[in-house]
Structure 1
Amino acid sequence: MSLVTLAIPFFLVSVLVELALDRWRNWGLYRLNDAIGSLGAGIMSRISGLVRSGVGLLIYLPAYELLTPYYQAVGFNWTAANPWHLLLAVVAYDFCYYWKHRFAHEINLLWADHLVHHQSEDYNLTTALRQPSGGLPIGWIFYLPLLLIGLPAELMITAGAIDLIYQFWVHTQKFPKVRWIEWIFVTPSNHRVHHAQNRVYVDRNYGGVFIIWDRLFGSYQEELEQEPCIYGVRKPLRSFDPLAANLQHYRRMALDAWYTKSWREKLTLWFRRTGYRPADAEEAMPEPSCDLGDFRRFDPQIGCGQRLYALAQHLCYSGATLALLWYARDMAYGEQLLAVGLLAFGLISNGRILDGHRLARHWELARLGLLLAVAPILPFALSAALAGYALASGLAWLWLAFSGKEDTVASVSD
């Protein structure tokens, strides 16, 4: 089991602690819908990783074997048991991560994947867990330079996990600046800048663990007291559905490719600078950016019962995800695929409930009906538990969504 999977319980406990402090101190950092939207995207990312292949390792491992005589001649002999080797591996990995992260902000196709992490209009520890579910598998290219220093794949994976785990704690608004730390490490202050959509902050501070790369390569921006951060992206998602989150920019680029008449534009817009749109596509389908002077977070209002229902379902999905990640190695690929599909359907339906989507009531019933249909093919104990869950959820949802007992306002459709 990976270090990141082992760290998930720590992440969730930390979120609960920050949430409790938020409610106690009345900070206003958390909204239920945005937090569930971010956590749902994080769950989608982890479970999708079970059923997609790691292209990077399929290339890195043979290349490492091919270069082994060179490593022996030079004297490279990395070992995770040596803490200095591990530290150097993290530094080298973070250098590659900086460039991967920077290009993800500068090229349309790479931004389409990374965008998911930036869509939240809140900034708290759940934002750290908001991750994309795959996208085009080309990020591994940026780590190929690690072959030049003979870094073994297992040490690269460990360094990558440490890099990712470190980034969790910087997604908070309540840790102040500590001047000397700001010069060396990524901190909550300089990472808040990275997540802000203010013009002065956009496309700054790309480091994962070390901020020194940004200082060296001219992408550093300090958090300014006179310029409070406004979080999110200039073209807001306006949904808590993790599937919509992952498809947002791909959909926009596909529509631009459809509307533009130039074949050159159709083929190249994917690789242009982030935000580039063909002139004729922009004229046919204008999309104004968010007005930061009158910025309002996406916050559709649904009934209290439906909010509590969505929270309860999210807790069920979280428990099921932890179980799936724990037992995944003992499951056949087809079983993993079925479990991932059912969980993904639930996350999408829950996001649409929080959106106040007019069809959410029917999608949720369809999801629960599908669970009842699948239950008989499972082992008896799991089948009984799943059927009981589906029936109890169905009765609760029928009462909340169809009985007219709850007032629902500001419902959002397509």
Structure 2
Amino acid sequence: MNLVTLAIPFFLLAVLVELALDRRYGWGLYRLNDAIGSLGAGIMSRITGLVRKGVFLLIYIPLFELLQPYYQAVGFNWSMENPWHLLLAVVAYDFCYYWKHRFAHEINIFWADHLVHHQSEDYNLTTALRQPCGGLPIGWIFYTPLLLIGLPWELLVTAGAIDLIYQFWVHTQKFPKVRWMEWILVTPSNHRVHHAQNKVYVDRNYGGVFIVWDRLFGTYQEELETEPCIYGVRKALNSFDPLAANLQHYKRMALDAWHTKNWWDKLTLWFRRTGYRPADAEAAMPVPSSDLTDFRRYDPQISAGQRYYALAQHVIYSAATLVLIWYAAELSYGQLVAAVGLLGAGLVINGRILDNHRLARPAELVRLAALLGTTPLLPAALGLGVAIYAALSALAWWRLAFADKGATVALVSD
């Protein structure tokens, strides 16, 4: 089990602490639907990772072995036990991360994956856990330069985990600007800039741990007191469905490729600068950007009972995910795929419940019926527990979904 997985309980505890403080002091940082949307995307990312085969180490390790004569001639001798070596590994990894992150904002095909992390229109610790499912396996290219300094794969993976874990705490609005830190490290202040969609803030502050890369390469922007951050993306997702979140930009690019008559654009728009759209595709299918002068967060209104139902289901999915991660090694690949599929379906439907989508009502009953159908395949005790859960959920959802028909969509103004 890697460092990131071990850190998950601490992440969730920190979220609960920030949420409790938010409720006590009335900061207004959390909305239930947005928080569940972000956490649902994070769960989707973790469970799909269980069935998705990464290619990075499959390429990195053989190349590392092939270059052993070069490392011996140069005298590279990294050690996991040496804390200075670990620090140097984190610095080297973060340098590569800066360029990977920068390209993720500047090239369409990379943005399609990274976009998920930026879709939340709130900014709190749940935003840090909002992660994509991986997209096309091409991000590893940016870390291959670490072969030139002979960085062993074990040290690379550890440095990557440290880099990712560090980035969790900077997703908060309640940590003030600390001048000396702003020169060296990524902080909540300069990372708030990174998540803002204000014109002055867009495509700035790419560092993971160190902000010095942005200062060196001209992408640094300080958080301005005169320009409050407006979070989210200019072309809003307007859904809490994690599958829709992951497909948003891929779908848009595919539709653009379909609508444009220019074959060069059909082939190259995927690799053009982020935001590029063929003129004829844009004319056929305009997608307006958010009006930042009168910005309104996406906030569909559903009944209190349905909100609590969605929260209860999310808690169950979170617990099931932790159990699945813990026992994943003991399951066959087919069992793992089936478990991931059932959990993924639940996350999608739960997001649509929060969207007040008309198909969410029957879809949830279908999901529970399908889950009930799996119980004969499970061990007796587990099957009984799943059957009780499915039956109670179905009864609660039938009452909530088909008795309450007055929910409408309203928007929260900032």
SS at match of 1:299: strand
Displacement of 1:407 in angstroms is: 3.6
- Following superposition of structure 1 onto structure 2, how do residues 225-374 of structure 1 map, counting pairs within 5 Å? 225-374=225-374
**3-state SS in 2 of match to 1:207:** coil
Cα separation, 2, equivalents of 1:309 and 1:407: 17
Pair 1:7 & 2:20 matched: no
- Please give the secondary structure, in 2, of the residue aligned with 1:298: strand
Partners of 1:400 and 1:235 lie apart in 2 by 32
Amino acid of the structure 1 residue aligned with 2:215: R
Superposed CA deviations along residues 368-388 of structure 1, whole A, max 9, x for unmatched, are 011011111111111111111
Which residue type is aligned with residue 218 of structure 2? Answer: G
Partner deviation per Cα, 1:373-411 (whole Å, 9 max, x = no partner):
11111111111111111111001001101134x642228
1:66-92 deviation digits (Å, cap 9, x = unpaired) = 001111111111111110000000000
Instruction: Say which is worse superposed, 158-167 or 377-386, in terms of deviation.
Output: 377-386
CA distance in 2, matches of 1:227, 1:411: 26
- 1:21-170 to structure 2, matched below 5 A, reads 21-170=21-170
| Whole-angstrom distance in 2 between the partners of 1:411 and 1:246 | 24
Amino acid paired to 1:99: W
Question: What one-letter code is carried by the residue in structure 2 that aligns with 1:167?
Answer: Q
Per-residue CA deviation, residues 188-210 of structure 1 (Å, 9 max, x unaligned), is 00000000000000000000000
- Residue 49 of structure 1: SS of its match in structure 2? helix
8 Å contact kept, 2:33–2:354: yes
Structure 2 unaligned blocks of 5 or more: none
Structure 1 counterpart of 2:313, one-letter code:
Q
Provide the secondary structure at the position in 2 that maps to 1:169.
Answer: coil
- Alpha-carbon offset, residue 149 of structure 1: 0.5
Distance 2:113 2:92 in 1: 23
Contact 1:358/1:411, CA 8 A, preserved across alignment: no
Aligned AA (1:410): V
2: CA distance, partners of 1:147 / 1:256: 38
How far apart are the structure 2 equivalents of 1:24 and 1:50?
A: 38
TM-score by length of 2: 0.98
Partner of residue 379, structure 2: 379
On the 8 A contact 2:299/2:410 being kept in 1, the answer is: no
CA distance in 2, matches of 1:37, 1:272: 29
SS at match of 2:362: helix
- What whole-Å deviation, never above 9, does each CA across 1:286-345 have from its counterpart, x for those lacking one? 111111001000000000000000000000000000001111111111111111100000
Partner amino acid, structure 1, of 2:388: G
Query: Partner of 1:179 in structure 2?
Result: 179
Amino acid at match of 2:253: M
Q: Distance in 2 between matches of 1:375 and 1:80?
A: 46
SS of residue in 1 equivalent to 2:337: helix
Q: Which residue of 2 aligns with 1:20?
A: 20
Q: 2:236 & 2:307 partners in 1: Cα distance?
A: 22
TM-score by length of 1: 0.98
**How many equivalent residue pairs?**
411
User: Could you tell me how far apart the structure 1 residues matched to 2:262 and 2:185 are?
Assistant: 45
Which amino acid is 1:267 matched to? L
Q: Could you report, residue by residue, the CA deviation over 1:74-121 in whole angstroms, capped at 9, with x for unpaired residues? A: 111111111000000000000000000000000000000000000000
Using the alignment, how far apart are the partners of 2:120 and 2:307 within structure 1? 18
Q: Say if 1:54 and 1:296 are closer, same or farther in 2 by CA, change over 3 A.
A: same
SS at structure 1 position matched to 2:50: coil
| Residues in 1 aligned to 2:107 and 2:340: alpha-carbon distance in whole angstroms | 30
Give the counterpart letter for 2:152 in structure 1: P
CA distance in 2, matches of 1:314, 1:407: 23
Counterpart of 1:253 in structure 2: which amino acid?
M
1: CA distance, partners of 2:6 / 2:185: 24
Q: Does the alignment pair 1:410 with 2:409?
A: yes
- Code of the aligned partner of 1:276: Y
Secondary structure class of the residue paired with 1:389: helix
Relative to structure 1, is the Cα distance of residues 143 and 383 closer, same or farther in structure 2, using a 3 angstrom cutoff? same
Is the CA contact 1:49–1:133 (under 8 Å) kept in the aligned structure 2?
yes
Letter in 1 for 2:294: D
Moved more, 365-374 or 115-124: 365-374
Amino acid at match of 1:48: T
2-side partners of 1:407 and 1:12: how far apart? 34
Q: Note the alpha carbon deviations across 1:26-68, whole angstroms, 9 max, x for none.
A: 0000000000000000000000000011111110010001001
The AA in structure 2 aligned to 1:327 is Y
Give a deviation string over 1:132-155, Cα, whole Å, max 9, x none. 001000000000000000001111
SS of the aligned residue for 1:297 comes to strand
Contact 1:234 1:290 in 2 (8 A): yes
Does the 8 Å contact 1:302/1:356 carry over to 2? Answer: yes
CA–CA distance in structure 2, aligned partners of residues 178 and 351 of structure 1 = 37
Question: Given residue 217 of structure 1, which amino acid in structure 2 is its aligned partner?
Answer: F
Mapped to 1, the partners of 2:29 and 2:409 lie a distance apart of 22
Query: 2 CA distance for matches of 1:409 and 1:268?
Result: 41
Cα displacement (A) at 1:213: 0.2
Whole-angstrom distance in 2 between the partners of 1:36 and 1:296: 19
- Across the aligned residues of Structure 1 and Structure 2, the Cα RMSD in angstroms comes to 1.0
1:193 and 2:190 aligned: no
